[in-house]
Amino acid sequence: MGKIRVIQYASGTTGKIAIRAMANHPELELVGMLVHSAEKVGLDAGELAGIGNLGVTATDSLEEILAIEADAVSFMGLWPDLDLVCPMLESGKHVVLTPGLLYPKYLGDEVVERLEAACKKGNTCVFGGGISPGFVQCVAPIAMSNLALGINKITVEEFVDFHDVGESPELIRDMLGIGRTLEDVKANKHPWFDEMMPDFFNQTVALTADALKLELDEIRADIEHFVSPGGGRIDSVEIPPGTVGGVRSTFTGVVDGQDRLIVRLNWWCTYDLGDGWFSADDISNSTQWRITVDGEPSMRLTFEQADHFNDPTGNPRKSTEHSFIITAMNVLHAIPYLCQEKSPGIKHYGNLPLMAGRYTIR
């Protein structure tokens, strides 16, 4: 049996990792490359990923991509553009995505009906995954619930110290509001952050609730910006005193007025944000997620990532690249499972089997 033929969409940080992974994968073969930047057209996918040429030329033509004989598309753009996703599905290609579509049911009937119709026409499946939103808010708490007699509340916390994050000023300043005045942030909301992010993370709350047979009354989204009195600087952004130095976003599933499922994202660039925030020593250098189950019994799972954990200093290097690797591989590893599905349609963590990283030990 031949390899699974895969097209890669987008060559940002996560997309580059996916290209590198498929260049040396015993089960997946890269056969097409779709880009949205004109300057990347005509370049080899390997060149875009910083490795040797792979013989796969990048194009910005959806028509050319749809004409390629392929089994799946690895979709790693910034948002889940259904005008791209649905034609891919209709052309007979499964689609795995990192940007959203974790649980389209939450997004409404129109989205679900459009995706299901495209899957039916192409006899294909669509799956959204990643690390966050994704694995840590869904797979981890759902698996932990299997160990409990009863649960009062589940809290999933994310910790990101942006001193270690090599992101662009556009993301840090324009989208998150870091280094801008609180008044400016409130008056000039960013549509990707203030509208799309709740859609992304609320899906994880809805999926986990359905898996636990928990009927939610509502899902609340609360995004708070915190001012740094002293200011500071990270690699990509200057933070003047009195401007935003941290963001806390909370997405809460509520039943009878009680908070039952909580996803909280703590992102900071300075250490003077007040009560409830962190110093440089509060969180392990490699800790990024913590899942707490309050119940019988209460349990806590700490998710760490690093180059390795045998550093004699006890301070393994943390890097955002690890998160990008996890995000890319979580959806790439789903491709063989979609290819094995007997029925087309929307797939998610709740209706797929436990997915392994096939051939990762070799």
Please state the rounded mean pLDDT for residues 150-161: 95
Which of 160-164, 194-198, 268-272 comes out lowest in average pLDDT? 160-164
pLDDT of residue 100: 87
Residue 78 is predicted with a pLDDT of 85
Is a pLDDT exceeding 70 seen at residue 286?
Answer: no
Please provide the average confidence, as pLDDT, over all residues in the chain: 92
What residues contact residue 204 under an 8 Å CB cut-off, 6+ apart?
A: 102, 103, 133, 134, 137, 138, 251, 263
What are the tens digits of pLDDT across the range 291-322?
Answer: 999 999 999 999 988 777 776 665 555 566 78
What is the predicted pLDDT for the residue at 312?
Answer: 61
Write out 181-237 in H/E/C secondary structure. Answer: CHHHHHHCCCHHHHHHHHHHHHHHHHHHHHHCCCCCCEEEEEEEEEEECCCEECCCC
The arithmetic mean of pLDDT across residues 184-206, rounded, is: 90
Residue range 77-108, pLDDT digits in tens: 988 999 999 999 999 999 999 988 999 999 99
Whole-number pLDDT of residue 132: 94
| pTM given for the model | 0.93
Cis bond leading into 297, ω under 30°?
yes
What is the arithmetic mean of pLDDT over 193-205?
Answer: 90
Report pLDDT for 166.
Answer: 60
Q: Which pLDDT band, with edges at 50, 70 and 90, does 141 fall under?
A: very high
Neighbours of 192 (CB within 10 A): 14
pLDDT-based confidence at 164, cuts 50/70/90? low
